Amino acid sequence: MRAMFGTPMTMMVMLACVVIGIIGVTMVILSAVGRDAASHPKSEDGSRGEGARSDAGSGPARCCPRCNQFSPAYARFCAHCGYAYEPRG
């Protein structure tokens, strides 16, 4: 065993590096999951809504202040509740 891993101090350093690596990978995965959930907010009924997923990837989007769903940035009205957006200047 000693010939393969070296001194006990070397083994402890290697174990610490493995633990730090596992913690780092876990944090990256959890932050990606949290960022995805934040980009698709829930509506009042608790669902993610149809528009949150169907408009994803179609370019810039804007969030409706009334129904909290996403519509394309070029839209004049919310595709879900009909709210008229203020014109962008």
Mean pLDDT of all residues in 2-14: 81
Structurally, the chain folds into a number of domains equal to: 2
Domain containing residue 84: 42-89
Same-domain pairing of 31 and 47: no
Same-domain pairing of 28 and 47: no
Distance, in Å, from the CA atom of 42 to the CA atom of 40, rounded to the nearest integer, reads 7
Longest Cα–Cα distance in the chain: 73
Same-domain pairing of 25 and 51: no
Distance, in Å, from the CA atom of 12 to the CA atom of 63, rounded to the nearest integer, reads 51
Same-domain pairing of 53 and 88: yes
Asked whether the beta carbons of 80 and 49 are under 8 A apart, the reply is yes
Neighbours of 12 (CB within 10 A): 10
Same-domain pairing of 53 and 80: yes
Least trusted range by pLDDT, from 3-7, 23-27, 49-53, 63-67: 49-53
Mean pLDDT of all residues in 24-47: 71
Q: What is the pLDDT of residue 55?
A: 43
Q: What is the pLDDT of residue 51?
A: 47
Q: Give the pLDDT band (50/70/90) at residue 14.
A: very high
Same-domain pairing of 63 and 79: yes
Q: Give the pLDDT band (50/70/90) at residue 23.
A: very high
Same-domain pairing of 9 and 48: no
Distance, in Å, from the CA atom of 69 to the CA atom of 66, rounded to the nearest integer, reads 8
The pair of structure tokens assigned to 17 is 């590096």
Same-domain pairing of 53 and 83: yes
The 10s digit of each residue's pLDDT in 42-87 is 555 555 554 444 445 556 777 888 888 887 777 788 888 888 887 6
